[in-house]
Amino acid sequence: MTRWISGATALALAVALVAVIPRFGFTKPEAALWTDRPVTGGISAPAASPWVELARALKPAVVNISTKRVDAGNQFFDQFFGGRPRRMVRSLGSGFVINSAGFIVTNNHVVDGATEIKVTLADGRELPGRLLGRDPKTDIALLKVEATGLPVIPLGDSARLQVGEPVMAIGNPFGLEQTVTTGIVSATGRVIGEGPYDDFIQTDASINPGNSGGPLINAQGQAVGINAAIFSRSGGSVGIGFAIPTNLAKPVLTQLAAAGHVVRGYLGVTIQRVTADLAKSFGLPGAHGALVASVAEGGPAKAAGLRPGDVIVEYDGRRLERSDELPRLVAETPLGREVPLTVARDGKTLTLRATIAKLAEPQEQRTAQTAGRPALGLAVQTVTPQLAQELGLPVRAGVLVSGVEDGSPAAGAGVQPGDVITELDRKPVKSVDDLERELARVRSGAPVLFFVHRNGGDLYIAVES
């Protein structure tokens, strides 16, 4: 499954600003999740051929990912008001192994909402895939299969890519496994409207539906991108494909492996690009930096003294050439760290200091999973104070059941949409992450004991897992 971009988006691509790879400031783990060692015998850039040896060496590390998901609309409201019949949807995508212990990278949109993930290795083995974590903002997901000694593809330095450099894509377009295409890097730093950290590699290597999650490989046999999207009016390749740079993916994968989610820094400003005309208006020597359009109340920027109209020209000692650089730098800053901001204000330069806070992520409704199988058939979301107020819930913490899959263990046990799970096996559950963490510890086949709040009362429900 590869996303494509409609013709209406073409104008936006032409005028979009250049995004910068967000690195989140995490040190390399002691046990490396991936390797950056080039494949022996790799060809030297800028030679475009032969690719035969690299294809032979790397194809075994590329996998086919098939998923099942329930297309059910808004299950919570359908329960009470009626809605369209639920149906099972199947989709295909690609991925590649980055660690011989069974760690596989793919796109978030390949596995988003999946109730079942199946990974087919190059040797024909079909294994259940366990979702370790996903990051919608960068469209990256990390899977795990129970296998060892798998062939891997090393992750290279995407910042070293040059326009015109030869690259190779491997994937499963239209379900045709182990397909290899070659081309060049057409551009870098493309913004295509897919999220706040857009910084895509554009390539003319043929990418089609089913290529999503597969590797874009340089001439040294390293993955420098994760194939993610195409520009097409027909849904097929027209020579404009996009890949997520591996330098963006590395810190995300580290966090997904460690915690299952990504934490980013927060400054609390809305910014805009400094044009040549604006630079003259603000008395700046050149069109660089980030113009502060607004400052969030209660945020780090407000506490530091930033004002609308300030131009941030340096962040933590790093000169800002473009406004796009600031979100990436803030995102990678460790939480709680105080950073200096060099600001141009009223023709003068001053230094302010801001303490970076945690970027609050909106709560997502998702299907709880464990061990690559549906976690009892529940669609759930964390109960926040705002959600509790909106729905009139008497509890302020727990997990709201927003949907129950027909025929699932949860449905058979009597779990209903609108239930709020506050305990699992006598342990408090305050978020979806808590629920998934506790479910992961449950032995397959063992019963799960929920403590549920329903219609003003409390009850225990035993669900066979």
What is each CA distance from 7 to 4, 18, 431, in whole angstroms?
10, 20, 40
Catalytic residues: 109, 139, 212
CATH code assigned at 165: 2.40.10.120
Whether 172 and 280 map to the same domain: the answer is no
What digits encode the pLDDT tens for the residues 88-125? 556 789 999 999 999 999 999 999 888 889 999 999 99
Cα–Cα distance measured from residue 66 to residue 116, given in angstroms and rounded to the nearest whole number = 8
What digits encode the pLDDT tens for the residues 372-417? 334 578 888 888 876 776 667 777 788 888 777 767 788 888 888 8
pLDDT for the residue numbered 320: 92
Cα–Cα distance measured from residue 49 to residue 122, given in angstroms and rounded to the nearest whole number = 24
- Last residue of some domain: 308, 323, 358? 358
Contact 418, 79 (CB under 8 A): yes
Cα–Cα–Cα angle for 119, 121, 122, nearest 5°?
150
Task: Average pLDDT across each block of 10 residues of the chain; the chain has 465 residues. List them in order.
Answer: 50 36 42 77 56 91 87 44 50 92 94 89 94 91 95 95 95 83 91 76 88 93 92 71 93 92 90 88 88 90 94 94 85 92 92 92 49 61 76 79 78 86 89 84 80 84 81
> Among all chains, which residue has been given the structure tokens 């991936």?
34
Whether 254 and 269 map to the same domain: the answer is no
Q: Does the residue 45 lie in any domain? A: no
**Looking at the 3D structure of the chain, how many domains does it have?**
3
Contact 432, 381 (CB under 8 A): yes
What digits encode the pLDDT tens for the residues 44-100? 555 445 788 999 999 999 999 999 875 544 444 344 334 444 455 567 899 999 999
pTM, entire model? 0.66
The domain of 391 spans 366-464
Q: Does the residue 46 lie in any domain? A: no
